[in-house]
């Protein structure tokens, strides 16, 4: 469908992002003070209002304007937004969400009626960053109904995850078709390359075989036949040389064009596959709203924390798990979190906590919900089970058995039924989702301390940041969030660690696992320098030995094919830039493999130096990418250097004014002061000009390289050509070894 046939196509995409930002932003106001949360909301509302007016969605524009009018008196941040206004903001946010979700392909389709209003509760939200917009225009807002103290399902709760994949699937099919068309082009390129080799061979023959003369030169082929003067042989040789050069240039140009287009197609495929995945943050916002509403109904003080929002998972998985988790967090507030006075009397803080954490574990996603409430009343569970005939009065039942009965559903310890809980619904919904998706669910409770529930479900696709490494000639990737640090090892340290199968670092004994051996290959020769990547899985660590770190990237992880042998340390596959499969490592599998090796060996661990003990002045890494800062810090610290970090050119300059550095390692493309400007400013400073600077960038053109050296950089490293050994050689040449 083209934009001309569906005038709302792009508005729906933008509006959904904006109403999500507004929903989260209003929840932010319940916990965060100051002017910035209000400013973010005003920017998002103004952007939505303008976009809605362009496509003639006046109801949405009016709601956005009304939200602006409520917020304008509080934009200075001196006065917190009162609960009554929070309630009105939530009502408007719900109304806009319902209208946006109700938009179909027909521009004239009426928007659904807004949902009932909700009232506020004190919660602590996960952070979001709504889009920017201009200041709002004053106008009389439409009437907003007064606060209604009843609990309503927020629109985000009713439809927390959207999955519109038909356009993406069509795009993926088009990319595959385009890739298929490159087969004939590759064959034509091979023909050009053969012609180039033939022309080169002919030119060589003409240069060395001048015994015969040529009487006629074919103007097309450049070939001649005998009977003429030697000068004709020279002319033929010159023409053959020109033909060789032209064919060589044509071949190189075709090769570069084909490879560039194939890389771009692979990039489009990767981006399209990411579009098919949904950020977990959408579900965390929904759960935050569910906690907020339940806390309002039960008059509880609750802080909500969400972790893992940056992960992107299959929309079907998130859709099914979201509904079940809403039951769980509501029950956590209704059954678990005590009233304020009861918590204070028990020595607990007045605010209860509900925390939802989403993590990727190999082939699975784990959803953990934890609260610090009173825990389950196991005695009450037993009484209810006996009353329903599920347990005999004298039948023994431990905590696991009683929790299993709760999972069956229909058992509730609530004294009354509310709109939130009390019908015995919740844990059985989680069990049903686990069964439908082929996953598992577990629950632990400690009376007086709280409850922890974990839902683990299999994945078809997941997007994450990965660190690519080389081991035994093979490439593999490990989830970046599982990497704690990287340690550079000398050949002697590698040999000693391999013999002991453990190392010590910062006072911790860590199992040592050569990755090449874990992948079924051959570890490098003894006394070869290497890198130990310290990987964490929960509270456990393993030092994974690799030859090189190759960089970080966003990975689309697919499950292993059904017929592929399941390696204990491999969780799935991702595709590299050439379309070849690359294993993605499972942190839990690595820890388990390292633990097995350690259990079989009890030699004295090898002590490695801590990066904190490195001598000399530190190196300042200036990069706006968290991923790049982490990678460069790991490389430098593993080589023994001290490292300071700055997330912007401005922060880097500020740090440089207050501390002496041995080297600046600077990214080029940063908002505000970029890398070129940073180096230029430090070269103009009489104190900082003595500190060498290395530019690390994705820019590879000769003009950019020349500009880098012109502003005073000592070295220019291109990220696509990044090699940690080369980088360390540059650094050693400038500041010496650590």
Answer yes or no: do 392 and 478 share one domain: no
DSSP letter (8 states) at residue 447 = T
Question: Over the stretch 657-687, which tens digit does the pLDDT of each residue have?
Answer: 888 899 999 998 888 899 999 999 999 988 8
Q: Does some domain include residue 355?
A: yes
Does one domain contain both 321 and 223?
no
Q: For residue 410, what pLDDT is reported?
A: 61
Q: What is the CATH number of the domain that holds 519?
A: 2.40.50.180
Taking residue 717's Cβ as centre, other Cβ atoms within 10 Å add up to 17
How many domains would you assign to the chain?
Answer: 5
Rounded distance between C-alpha atoms, residue 166 and residue 395, angstroms: 55
Report yes or no on 132 lying in a domain.
no
% of the chain beyond a pLDDT of 90: 15
* pTM attached to this predicted model: 0.52
pLDDT at 147 over 90: no
Does residue 556 form part of some domain? yes
Whether residue 196 is found in the same domain as residue 210: yes
Q: What's the CA gap between 413 and 383, in Å, rounded? A: 9
Q: What are phi and psi of 596, to 5 degrees?
A: -65, -40
Q: Which range (132-141, 291-300, 353-362) has the least confidence? A: 132-141
Q: What is the rounded distance in angstroms from the CA atom of residue 396 to the CA atom of residue 393?
A: 9
The Cα–Cα gap between 722 and 729 comes to: 12
**What pLDDT shows up at residue 676?**
93
CATH label of the domain that carries residue 115: 1.20.120.160
Identify whether residues 529 and 667 lie together within a single domain: no
Q: What is the CATH number of the domain that holds 626?
A: 3.40.50.2300
CB 584 within 8 A of CB 574: yes
Task: Examine the domain organization and report whether 511 and 588 are in the same domain.
Answer: yes
Chain-wide mean pLDDT for the chain?
A: 76
Same domain, 176 and 267: yes
Which range is least confidently modeled, 147-161, 243-257, 699-713?
Answer: 147-161
Range in 12-16, 168-172, 212-216, 580-584 the model is least confident about: 212-216
Give CA separation, 106 vs 7, 55, 132, 423, 424, in Å: 8, 12, 28, 41, 42
User: Does residue 3 carry a pLDDT above 50?
Assistant: no
- Same-domain check for residues 587 and 641: no
Summarize pLDDT for 716-738 with one digit per residue, the tens: 888 766 667 778 888 888 887 65
**Which domain-ending residue is among 566, 591, 607?**
607
CATH number, residue 268: 1.10.287
287 and 317 belong to one structural domain: yes
Q: Are residues 448 and 516 in the same domain?
A: no
Q: Are residues 412 and 558 in the same domain?
A: no
Tokens representing 345? Answer: 């009397």
Among 151-165, 196-210, 342-356, 557-571, the range with the most confident prediction by mean pLDDT is 342-356
Alpha carbon of 725 to those of 480, 483, 495, 566, 731: distances in Å? 21, 20, 20, 33, 10
Element at 360 (helix H, strand E): strand 352-361
What distance lies between CA 350 and its chain's CA centroid?
A: 34
Q: Are residues 445 and 297 in the same domain?
A: yes
- Long-range contacts (CB closer than 8 Å, 24 or more residues apart) made by 245-251: 247/192, 247/195, 247/196, 247/199, 248/196, 248/200, 250/192, 250/196, 251/189, 251/192, 251/193, 251/196
For 207, residues 6+ apart whose C-beta sits below 8 A from its C-beta are: 237
Query: What mean pLDDT is predicted for residues 302-312?
Result: 88
Report H helices in 209-339.
230-275, 281-298, 315-331
Residue 431 lies in domain? 277-460
Reading the block at residue 397, the tokens are 């039942």
Claim to verify: residue 475 and residue 565 sit in the same structural domain = yes
């Amino acid at each position: 469908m083209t934009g001309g046939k569906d005038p709302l196509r792009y508005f729906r995409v933008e509006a959904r992002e904006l109403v999500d930002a507004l929903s989260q932003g209003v929840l932010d106001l319940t916990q965060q003070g100051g002017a910035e949360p209000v400013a973010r909301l005003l920017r998002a509302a103004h952007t939505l209002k303008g976009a809605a007016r362009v496509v003639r969605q006046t109801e949405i524009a009016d709601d956005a304007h009304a939200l602006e009018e409520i917020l304008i008196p509080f934009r200075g941040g001196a006065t917190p937004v009162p609960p009554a206004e929070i309630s009105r903001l939530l009502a408007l946010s719900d109304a806009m969400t319902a209208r946006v979700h109700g938009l179909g392909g027909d521009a004239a389709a009426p928007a659904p009626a807004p949902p009932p209003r909700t009232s506020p509760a004190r919660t602590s939200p996960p952070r979001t960053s709504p889009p920017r917009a201009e200041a709002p225009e004053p106008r009389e807002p439409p009437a907003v109904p007064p606060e209604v103290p009843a609990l309503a399902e927020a629109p985000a709760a009713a439809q927390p995850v959207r999955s519109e994949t038909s356009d993406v699937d069509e795009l993926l099919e088009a990319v595959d078709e385009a890739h298929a068309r490159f087969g004939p082009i590759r064959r034509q390129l091979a023909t050009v390359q053969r012609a180039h080799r033939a022309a080169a061979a002919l030119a060589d023959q003409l240069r060395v075989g001048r015994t015969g003369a040529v009487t006629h030169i074919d103007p097309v082929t450049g070939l001649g036949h005998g009977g003429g003067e030697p000068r004709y042989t020279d002319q033929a040789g010159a023409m053959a040389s020109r033909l060789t050069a032209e064919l060589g240039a044509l071949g190189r140009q075709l090769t570069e064009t084909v490879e560039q287009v194939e890389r771009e197609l692979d990039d489009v495929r990767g981006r399209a596959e990411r579009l098919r995945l949904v950020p977990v943050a959408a579900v965390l916002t929904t759960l935050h709203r569910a906690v907020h509403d339940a806390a309002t109904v039960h008059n509880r003080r609750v802080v909500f924390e969400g972790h893992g929002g940056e992960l992107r998972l299959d929309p079907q998985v998130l859709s099914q798990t979201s509904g079940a988790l809403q039951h769980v967090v509501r029950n956590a507030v209704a059954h678990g979190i005590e009233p304020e006075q009861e918590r204070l009397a028990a020595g607990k803080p007045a605010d209860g906590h509900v925390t939802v954490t989403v993590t990727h574990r190999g082939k699975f996603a784990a959803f953990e919900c934890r609260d610090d409430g009173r825990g389950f009343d196991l005695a009450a569970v037993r009484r209810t089970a006996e009353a329903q005939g599920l347990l005999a009065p004298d039948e023994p039942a431990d905590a696991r058995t009683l929790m299993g009965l709760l999972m069956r559903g229909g058992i509730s310890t609530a004294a009354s039924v509310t709109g939130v809980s009390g019908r015995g619904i919740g844990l059985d919904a989680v069990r049903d989702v686990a069964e439908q998706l082929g996953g598992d669910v577990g629950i632990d409770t400690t009376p007086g301390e709280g409850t922890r529930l974990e839902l683990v479900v299999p994945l078809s696709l997941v997007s994450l940041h990965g660190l690519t490494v080389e081991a035994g000639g093979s490439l593999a990737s490990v989830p970046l969030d599982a990497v704690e640090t990287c340690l550079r090892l000398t050949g002697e340290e590698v040999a000693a660690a391999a013999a002991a199968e453990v190392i010590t670092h910062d006072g911790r004994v860590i199992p040592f696992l050569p990755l090449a051996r874990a992948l079924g290959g051959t570890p490098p020769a003894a006394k070869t320098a290497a890198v130990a990547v310290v990987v964490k899985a929960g509270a456990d660590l393993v030092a994974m030995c690799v030859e090189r770190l190759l960089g970080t990237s966003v990975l689309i992880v697919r499950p292993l094919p059904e017929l592929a042998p399941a390696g204990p340390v491999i969780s799935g596959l991702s595709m590299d830039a050439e379309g070849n499969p690359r294993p993605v490592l499972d942190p839990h599998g690595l820890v388990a493999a390292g633990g097995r090796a350690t259990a079989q060996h009890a030699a004295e661990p090898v002590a490695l130096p801590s990066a904190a003990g490195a001598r000399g002045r530190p190196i300042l890494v200036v990069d706006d990418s968290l991923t790049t800062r982490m990678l460069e810090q790991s490389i430098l610290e593993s080589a023994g250097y001290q490292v300071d970090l700055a997330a912007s050119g401005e922060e880097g300059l500020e740090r440089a004014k207050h501390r002496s550095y041995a080297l600046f390692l600077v990214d080029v493309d940063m908002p505000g002061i970029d890398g070129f400007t940073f180096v230029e400013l430090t070269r103009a400073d009489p104190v900082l000009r003595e500190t060498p600077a290395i530019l690390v960038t994705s820019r590879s053109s000769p003009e950019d390289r020349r500009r880098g050296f012109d502003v005073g950089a000592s070295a220019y490293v291109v990220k696509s050509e990044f090699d940690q050994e080369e980088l360390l050689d540059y650094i050693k040449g400038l500041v010496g070894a650590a």
